[in-house]
Structure 1
């Protein structure tokens, strides 16, 4: 049994609850008792860790994009944690150990702003990806001054090239330069919009995949 000498402000001797008291060179000090750490590898834990690792590999290259894309969904948690939670709960398919990211359900930005209308991409020029879309300015919350947000994700290399405030919605296209080392790699494309004030965002849309020249 531990003892607290001289009232609550006195030294602690021994263990009181999860607090351990001791004295060193006449100085009383306390420390929390270390918690026993368990790491049971139950099926549920292994499944969850596998999913987490998969989502982490997808989100890490897009971290700075997510900081903008999830800026309105970071109450009591970081933008990254909010994105991680969304991906884990909505965008992982398959069964252990063959889990996959379902890119069509994976949102890299979230919000109520109107998204891109009929977005497509073009990989016919080496070293670049051209995104294009139809002008839906004036429909819903879409404005001509909204700025495009686009991601070129390279799963093989675990890298992304992206912009978070590019061409205007009314410009109808945006070219993103990509490294020559991406040649022959399968790339995944995402697009969204942010308003001119930077306060409203659209859900990102997955456009599809293609092989870089």
Structure 2
């Protein structure tokens, strides 16, 4: 829609049909509306590859947006972007190859600089999966009271189960309950720690895969 400026004898701004009007350097100017070339619509090989990689990472992150919003909250403020976009940007650069395949060991679902998890072990039973780790707080009161963040991801169904404020680091154990309809499904797993006041966080640690039996 166009808008007439200064009455019927003036120029106009906006778009009318295939013509766009605007004011430039003291003069009213009109030009034909630009059209995207067929090449740009289709995209070059590099553009197609980039779009494919973007879509694959977007699809992976979609079920865990709430988790990465917490996990990349501090980093997103430094980068002045949303936490979701910060997570997507980092992982596209560091955990995805040219074909778009994701390296799950290199993937980061949380981003920070406090101590991560060490000596992580997984056990499972009919109720779910149980994570254990070593208390590596080394006498630091704040680190001792960090809360664990856990996530397990079913790639086949693009669903996840997670905890963003679990047991304290000093407790060395936390569990995720898994509904029975997940029997036979394979899960990728991650663990991280977040400070009690939610202002510090560790890098997430990949803990491998398991099949819920």
Q: TM-score range by the shorter chain?
A: 0.7 to 0.9
The alignment partner of 1:51 has SS state of: helix
Structure 1: unaligned runs, 5 residues or longer: 22-31
**Residue 29 of structure 1: aligned partner:** none
The residue aligned with 2:118 is 117
Equivalent residue, structure 2, for 1:108: 109
Matched residue of 1:101: which SS?
Answer: coil
1:88 is matched with which residue?
92
SS at match of 1:193: strand
C-alpha deviation, 1:33, in angstroms: 7.8
Structure 1 residue 145, shift from structure 2 partner:
0.4
Which stretches of structure 1, 4 residues or longer, exceed 6 Å deviation after superposition?
139-142
Query: In the TM superposition, what whole-angstrom CA distance separates every residue of 1:65-86 from its partner, at most 9, and x where no partner exists?
Result: 0010000111321000000101
Normalising by structure 2, what TM-score?
Answer: 0.81
Quote how far apart the aligned CAs of 1:48 are.
0.9
Give the Cα–Cα distance (whole angstroms) in 2 for the partners of residues 107 and 127 of structure 1.
Answer: 27
Deviations 1:165-210 (A, max 9, x none): 1000011010101122211111000000001111000000001001
More displaced, 193-202 or 34-43? 34-43
Q: CA deviation at 1:122?
A: 1.4
Q: Is the 8 A contact 1:114 1:142 kept in 2?
A: no
Q: Distance in 1 between matches of 2:105 and 2:141?
A: 23
CA distance in 2, matches of 1:61, 1:15: 40
User: How many pairs are equivalent?
Assistant: 194
Is residue 51 from structure 1 mapped to residue 50 from structure 2 by the alignment?
no
- Cα distance in structure 2, aligned partners of 1:164 and 1:175: 12
**Offset, 1:41:** 2.5
Confirm or deny that 1:193 pairs with 2:197.
no
- What is the CA–CA distance in structure 2 between the aligned matches of 1:139 and 1:206, rounded to whole Å? 25
RMSD over aligned Cα atoms: 2.8
Give the TM-score of the pair, scaled to structure 1: 0.81
1:118 deviates by 1.1
- Structure 2 regions of 5+ residues with no counterpart? 23-30
CA deviation after TM superposition for structure 1 residue 45, in Å = 1.2
Q: Distance in 2 between matches of 1:33 and 1:131?
A: 63
